[in-house]
A = this chain, B = another copy of it.
């Protein structure tokens, strides 16, 4: 009974590769980490042995020693929100193109959860973070706490936080919607959106307030809550209860608009015949609603490419000034806002 005969083939480690290649652990490590000062013969022997044993470096041990895991973490407020889900999908696709792994976590719209998720990702030694923060104000402490690794804010900003940001130009988006609504002849318009606890809510609201009088017309009003279908339904029902239906309901997000459409349909109000409705985000479902939903379409793929580019750049050592990428959204005119069309 010779030694090693019949033993269970344990997962190979650096020692095993070194033994088979006839070199030391150090040399194997040098080859695998791409360091210089290794002879071509050694490189060849190590590569052969690695392949032969099916060796893969242990990411845990690697993280332990080097403090880096080779993957980046993402925190999302609510993966069930189609816009965020599409964003995650795009980020994942883009990272895969760069051979970087993604760890996705959900903060469930709670700052406390968000803090925990970020701490956990840091503990797991992610090399960078892409975060869609929960709130523009109270998310700040948890995020400011991240100093060792780069962090890119996606879609939403956070107050007083020096970090890279990637999102759309909300003011331009609201502008294009209002202009379009005005062209359709609407005069009285109500803005239904999330409140100003998120930067997207705040800046879309500010843009509406700044531009509505000049572009559209009389007695503009708000109804602010959260970016959910339920809030859209509630807001629409309240508007109906008050009696005077506006000419147009401009929504701060597509899910809100979907809620509004649902409530109006339930009450027998015709869209676009009785009231125009628009959304914001450009989720895939916007085009599948009946009526199809006019919306400010965010270039999700471009946002993902830019966010990934930025975080990898920072991981690569870039220490330039904080960057803000505001990509222009494009208005998608559809049935829900086109009066008198077929």
Contact = CB atoms under 8 A, between A and B. Distances in A.
Interface of A: 56, 58-61, 63-64, 78-80, 82, 85-86, 88-89, 92-93, 96, 101-106, 108, 113, 119-120, 123-125, 229, 258-259, 261-262, 265, 284-285, 287-290
A113 B125 CA distance: 23
A55 to B, nearest CB: 12
Given A59-B120, A93-B108, 10 more contacts: A59-B124, A79-B104, A82-B82, A103-B103, A104-B105, A262-B288, A285-B285, A288-B289, A289-B289, A289-B290
Contact of A258 (B60, B123, B288): B288
6 contacts: A60-B64, A79-B104, A80-B82, A80-B89, A92-B106, A104-B105
A108 B229 CA distance: 27
A289 B285 CA distance: 10
Nearest to A271: B290
A160 B287 CA distance: 41
Contact of A60 (B56, B63, B93, B285): B63
Nearest to A80: B89
Contacts of A86: 80
A63 B63 CA distance: 11
A265 B284 contact: no
A288 B293 CA distance: 13
Given A60-B64, A85-B82, A288-B262, A104 B101 contact: no
Contacts of A288: 229, 258-259, 261-262, 289
